[in-house]
């Protein structure tokens, strides 16, 4: 295979410029124009996060030679204001230019050349859709995608590398049956990855730049090409963020067509990633689960604001925010307090059930910096979010009992289960949380200003409206039969009593009073 398509020069990485235009750039130009680029313009959330992680690994390694002990926070603040140190980055990329060829006889970028000669893979081809998380492949159907494994349509190299980066980071664990029966998941499988955003790509990279780690924490392109024996071996712990950000969790080798496109590839088990609970991914946050902390992911229908406490500091250890947030706050600590009032966050990822891909999502939230920095404010936000969850749980119990009263044999356990199923498949939950979500930006702004009493009043009023909206859907769904009207009349006073007890219209909670005084 010849050396073709070098990622330093070829236009492959989609970016959004300050004037709104979207262009594809090579890595050298991306870093050179990083101050004029708002951010990456990739539309697939897994590939978007993976591309940022690749850029962060490049920046980190480029700075390692200029700052062997790691730059200080004041150095990062200087880059945040004035731009990245381009000379060091350019020197680094040129030094490793030969490892950034997408097609290369010995070390193609993020691929395993050994698959072309190994007995288990050299005569086996897979369609490129094998690594496309949004495409139908094998027995995984995708709505509106009619790809045929036996005759895949060719794609340009720029698309192929975009798919590959996202796939390596987010692929779920499961059967592979080549070199090994099964394989571990990618570094961000089932993770809602958190990324602090700046006004430009340069600022985003500075905010997210991880601390200097062990000398052997190398990205994939600085390591010797993977061998078949390494692919067969047991999972290996990551040496640090650079390793995690570029781990080749599956072995892939693109087969170049005569016109330069990609239709086929070789595929096998990869350089399996072992997980160390004491060294979590820098972009992963953890929330409380039934058996300890669990990674923040994207549950079906669960809005991000309900897990906001997992993104905020918590001295009690009930949650654990992503380490990348602390890197961003360290930079802000060196800036003028009025230079940045808000810290936009991108939260994106892919949810799966074992080997089945379920959904991907990308959400943005814009919390005040004061909320991320002040433990008292985050503690109070946690209380308010918990109140929303508690009120919903109580409302749900009441609504299920009312629904059961309209069914035959209302005191039967089976009837109660049926009523609960009817409620859960209707608009009750969606209407409650959707109505509450509209007030979240205002709530965050009030807490950022330290107005605890105002935040409490806003949230109580919001939850009352949310509860009325959800209850209306339930009572309307009961119909107008005599049994339904009796159930509605019986439970409506209980509904009002529940609201008056938990979300009074004006009286702030004890914590709010203490915070204000």
User: pLDDT for 183-241, tens place per residue?
Assistant: 899 999 999 999 999 999 999 999 999 988 778 899 999 999 999 999 999 999 999 99
Lookup: tokens for 371: 């909320």
pLDDT of residue 353: 83
| Three-state SS at 225 | coil
**Percentage of the chain lying above the pLDDT 70 cut:** 95
pLDDT at 508: 45
The tokens describing 281, both together, are 């991914």
Alpha helices in 360-439 (DSSP H): 369-373, 375-405, 413-424, 428-437
Residue 220's pLDDT is 97
**What one-character DSSP code corresponds to residue 140?**
B
User: Would you state the pLDDT for residue 69?
Assistant: 80
- Mean pLDDT of all residues in 89-98: 96
- As a whole number, mean pLDDT of residues 34-44 equals 96
* 138 burial via Cβ count (<10 Å: 0-12, 13-18, 19+): exposed
Distance CA 384, CA 403 (A): 28
Model confidence at 136: pLDDT above 70: no
Q: Which of 279, 314, 281 has its CA nearest to residue 296?
A: 281
Q: What percent of the chain has pLDDT over 90?
A: 75
Output b/e per residue, 178-216; b: 16+ Cβ within 10 A: bbbeebbbbbbbbbbbbbbbbebbbbbbbbbbbebbeee
pLDDT band at 177 (very low <50, low <70, confident <90, very high): confident
Average pLDDT over the chain, rounded to an integer: 91
SS3 33: coil
From CA 408, how far away is CA 181, in angstroms rounded?
52
What is the band of 516 on the pLDDT scale with cuts at 50, 70, 90?
very low
pLDDT at 398 over 50: yes
Q: Is the pLDDT of residue 515 over 60?
A: no
DSSP-assigned beta bridge partners for residue 222: none
Compute the distance between CA of residue 373 and CA of residue 329 in angstroms, rounded to an integer.
7
* Residue 506, pLDDT score: 64
pLDDT of residue 137: 57
Q: What is the pLDDT of residues 50-76, one digit of tens each?
A: 999 999 999 999 998 788 887 888 999
**Which range has the worst mean pLDDT, 97-111, 250-264, 318-332, 498-512?**
498-512
280 by DSSP, 3-state: which? coil
Under the banding of pLDDT at 50, 70 and 90, the label for residue 142 is low
Of 291, 283, 285, 284, whose CA–CA distance to 308 is shortest?
285
Question: Could you tell me which residues are beta bridge partners of residue 353?
Answer: 356
Mean pLDDT along residues 403-429: 91
What pLDDT does 493 receive? 95
Among the ranges given (243-247, 279-283, 356-360, 392-396), the one the predictor scored with the smallest mean pLDDT: 356-360
8 A C-beta contact, residue 27 and residue 100: yes
Over residues 384-388, the mean pLDDT reads 95
Q: What is the pLDDT of residue 141?
A: 61
Q: Token match 């430009």: residue?
A: 200
Residue 473's pLDDT is 93
Confidence of residue 144 (pLDDT cuts 50, 70, 90): low
Q: What is the mean pLDDT of residues 364-378?
A: 92
pLDDT at 127: 94
pLDDT confidence band for 247 (50 / 70 / 90): very high
Are 114 and 224 in contact by the 8 Å Cβ rule? The answer is no
**What's the Rg (C-alpha) of the chain?**
26
Other C-beta atoms lying within 10 Å of the C-beta of residue 177: 11
pLDDT, residue 316, reads 83
Residue with tokens 């809005």: 303
Calculate the CA 75 to chain-centre distance.
Answer: 28
């Amino acid at each position: 295979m010849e050396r073709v398509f070098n990622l330093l020069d070829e236009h492959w990485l989609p970016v959004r410029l300050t004037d709104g235009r979207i262009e594809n750039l090579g890595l050298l130009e991306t870093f050179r124009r990083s101050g004029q680029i708002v951010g990456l313009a990739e539309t697939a959330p897994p590939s978007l996060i993976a591309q940022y992680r690749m850029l962060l690994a490049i920046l980190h390694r480029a700075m390692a030679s200029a700052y062997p002990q790691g730059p200080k926070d004041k150095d990062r603040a200087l880059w945040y204001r004035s731009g990245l140190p381009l000379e060091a980055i350019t020197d680094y990329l040129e030094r490793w230019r030969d490892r950034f060829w997408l097609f290369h006889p010995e070390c193609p970028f993020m691929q395993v050349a050994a698959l072309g000669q190994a007995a288990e893979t050299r005569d086996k081809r897979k369609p490129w859709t094998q690594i496309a998380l949004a495409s139908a492949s094998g027995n995984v159907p995708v709505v509106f995608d009619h790809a045929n494994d036996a005759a895949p349509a060719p794609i340009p190299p720029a698309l192929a590398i975009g798919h590959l980066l996202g796939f390596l980071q987010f692929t779920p664990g499961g059967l592979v049956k080549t070199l090994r029966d099964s394989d571990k998941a990618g570094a961000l499988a089932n993770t809602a990855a958190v990324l602090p955003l700046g006004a430009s790509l340069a600022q985003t990279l500075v905010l997210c730049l991880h601390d200097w780690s062990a000398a052997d924490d190398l990205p994939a392109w600085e390591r010797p090409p993977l061998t078949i024996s390494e692919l067969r071996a047991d999972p290996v712990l990551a040496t640090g963020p650079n390793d995690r950000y570029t781990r080749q969790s599956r072995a892939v080798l693109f087969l170049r067509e005569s016109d330069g496109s990609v239709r086929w590839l070789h595929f096998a088990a990869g350089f399996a990633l072992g997980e160390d609970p004491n060294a979590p991914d820098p972009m992963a946050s953890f929330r409380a689960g039934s058996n300890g902390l669990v990674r923040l992911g994207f549950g079906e229908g669960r809005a991000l604001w309900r897990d906001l406490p997992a993104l905020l500091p918590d001295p009690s250890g009930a949650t654990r925010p992503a380490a990348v947030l602390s890197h961003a706050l360290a930079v802000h600590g060196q800036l003028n307090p009025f230079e940045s009032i808000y810290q936009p966050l991108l939260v994106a990822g892919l949810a799966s059930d074992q080997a089945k891909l379920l959904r991907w999502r990308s959400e943005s939230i814009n919390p005040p910096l004061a909320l991320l920095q002040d433990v008292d404010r985050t503690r109070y936000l946690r209380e308010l979010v918990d109140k929303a969850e508690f009120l919903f749980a109580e409302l749900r119990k009441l609504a299920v009992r009312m629904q059961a009263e309209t069914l035959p044999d209302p005191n039967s356990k089976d009837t109660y289960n049926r009523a609960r199923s009817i409620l859960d498949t209707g608009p009750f939950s969606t209407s409650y949380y959707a109505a509450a979500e509209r007030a979240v930006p205002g709530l965050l702004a009030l807490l950022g200003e330290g107005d605890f009493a105002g935040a409490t009043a806003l949230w109580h009023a919001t939850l009352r409206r949310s509860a009325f909206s959800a209850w209306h859907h339930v009572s309307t769904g009961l119909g107008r039969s005599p049994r339904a009207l009796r159930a509605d009349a019986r439970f409506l006073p209980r509904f009002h009593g529940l609201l008056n007890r938990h979300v009074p219209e004006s009286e702030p909670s004890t914590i709010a009073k203490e915070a204000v005084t």
